[in-house]
Structure formats: C-alpha cells, structure tokens
C-alpha cells in the first residue's frame, strides 16, 4: 500500500538540470562557515552570560539559512533580542545585521587564510553531469558564493548562480522557502519537476520539497540522514560520487545505432 501523501520522486536520469547548494555540497566551505560562526558567537554569547555556542547550534539554527536569518534564529534561541538594523550596519553595531556583517568579515578572513577546494567526489559528479548534458546551477544562501566558486576554481562551470546577493536584490525569500531554487529553474526555462535539488542542510531539502522539485537529494555532511529525509530528501548520500551510476552516459560515449 502506498502512502497517500508521499510523492513518487523522479529518477536522476529523467531530469534536465541539477541545482546545487554550495557549502557542504560542492565545497567544504561549511567548515569555513562553522569556524566563522564560532568566531562570532563564542565570545558574543559568553559576554551575554547565556549558554555557550556549540557545533550543534550551527546545524540547528544557521546551516543553510541566509546570514541574517541565522543570526536571528540563534539569538532567539538564547533569549537575546536585538534591533534588526540594516544591511549597511557596520560589524561593530549591536543589531542583527551588524552581527551578520561581523560574521561575513570572519568568513572572508577564514577563506583568505585557508582557501577552499571542491570535494573530489563532487567535482567528479559535476564534470560527469555536464558531460551528460545537464544544465547546472548553484543556489546558495551565501552572498559569497561567487568568491568561493572562484577560489575553488569552478566558477566557469556554472552559467547560473543564485546567491544571497541575488536573493536580496530580487526580493526572493530564503530557504526553506523554494523561491531561490525556483528562480534558478526559471533561468533555464525549466519547471521545478524537471530539476534536481542537491542539498546538505535540512532547510535546503525542505526548500526542494516545498517547491515540488522532481528529485531532492540530501548529502549527509553532518545533519544526519534521518533529519534530511524527514525534511524532504528523497535520497541521501554521503558523497556525490555515489550518484555517478545514476547518470545517463555522455552523448559522445553512446555507441552509434546499428543500421540494417
């Protein structure tokens, strides 16, 4: 018996575009973000005498969300209320936006100091998917997505990048709303049902499910397979290379049809 409210997801080979989250999916910038969030909140929460910042806070309150939403979510969890402020606030201002901008400065410093490279399995899958004829895009809540892609040496692979800056300029709601993913699909002239969402955050897989995308793939980098499935992942892998057998062959590798 099938569950009435459970959809039947499409197969990877049936889809036309792959819409990738960036941090934790293509590049291990989640590690950079985690260190940057810790640099922000470890001293800040200590100064306010509340429960100390933990790694789990990253996954629970900020992973996959636009930066200011992450700040607001964690502060609310600790019972701290701050004025919203504006994106132009300096990093020393005691506002949600000020703290978000402080975190962004910490992220930039971490990236410049340590650099970043793609996950080997993700790079293999990306190159095979492009060779197989898929459209590919990056859909990231980070305003630094192009900087990260450039540092990782893969910016030229992506004709479409919908990042935090694009979302702010175009008034697109952040994940778990599906708006940024729907925007990327529309730039290819495709429907959500023709696209695959590839995410490592629960908010991101929820965005894929909320947008009725053809397939939602969760990449478990720490959020947990059960949590990813509960929020909307149709399939969960630990490395994108696990999906290589599901790709159709590249056109050049298809043997010519025999004629009589």
What is the Cα–Cα distance from 247 to 231, expressed in whole angstroms?
25
Burial readout 33-61 (b: 16 or more C-beta within 10 A, e: otherwise): bbbbbbbbbeebbeeeeeeebeeebbbeb
**Active site annotation includes 89:** no
Find the catalytic residue in 21, 89, 179, 183: 21
**Active site annotation includes 21:** yes
Side-chain-side CA neighbours of 199 within 13 Å: the count stands at 33
Find the catalytic residue in 5, 23, 170, 239: 23
Q: Would you say 234 and 115 are in contact if contact means Cβ atoms under 8 Å apart? A: no
How many other CB atoms are there within 10 angstroms of residue 85's CB atom?
A: 18
What is the Cα–Cα distance from 140 to 208, expressed in whole angstroms?
13
Residues taking part in catalysis: 21, 23
């Amino acid at each position: 018996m099938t569950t009435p409210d459970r959809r039947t997801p499409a197969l990877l080979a049936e889809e036309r575009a792959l819409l990738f989250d960036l941090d934790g999916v293509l590049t291990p910038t989640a590690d950079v973000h985690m260190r940057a969030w810790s640099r922000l909140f470890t001293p800040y929460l200590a100064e306010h005498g509340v429960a100390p910042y933990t790694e789990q806070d990253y996954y629970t309150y900020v992973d996959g969300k636009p930066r200011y939403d992450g700040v607001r979510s964690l502060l609310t969890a600790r019972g701290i209320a701050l004025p919203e402020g504006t994106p132009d606030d300096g990093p020393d201002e005691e506002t949600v936006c000020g703290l978000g901008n402080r975190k962004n400065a910490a992220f930039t410093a971490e990236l410049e100091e340590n650099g970043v490279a793609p996950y080997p399995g993700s790079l293999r899958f990306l190159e095979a998917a492009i060779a197989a004829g898929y459209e590919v895009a990056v859909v990231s809540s980070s305003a630094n997505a192009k900087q990260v892609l450039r540092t990782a040496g893969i910016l030229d692979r992506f004709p479409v990048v919908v990042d935090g800056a694009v979302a702010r300029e175009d008034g697109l709601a952040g994940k778990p709303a599906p708006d940024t993913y729907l925007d990327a699909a529309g730039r290819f002239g495709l429907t959500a049902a023709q696209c695959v969402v590839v995410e490592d955050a629960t908010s991101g897989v929820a965005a894929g499910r909320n947008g009725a995308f053809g397939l939602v793939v969760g990449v478990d980098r720490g959020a947990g397979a059960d949590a990813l499935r509960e929020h909307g992942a149709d399939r969960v892998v630990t490395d994108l290379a696990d999906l290589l057998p599901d790709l159709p062959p590249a056109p050049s590798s298809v043997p010519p049809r025999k004629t009589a």
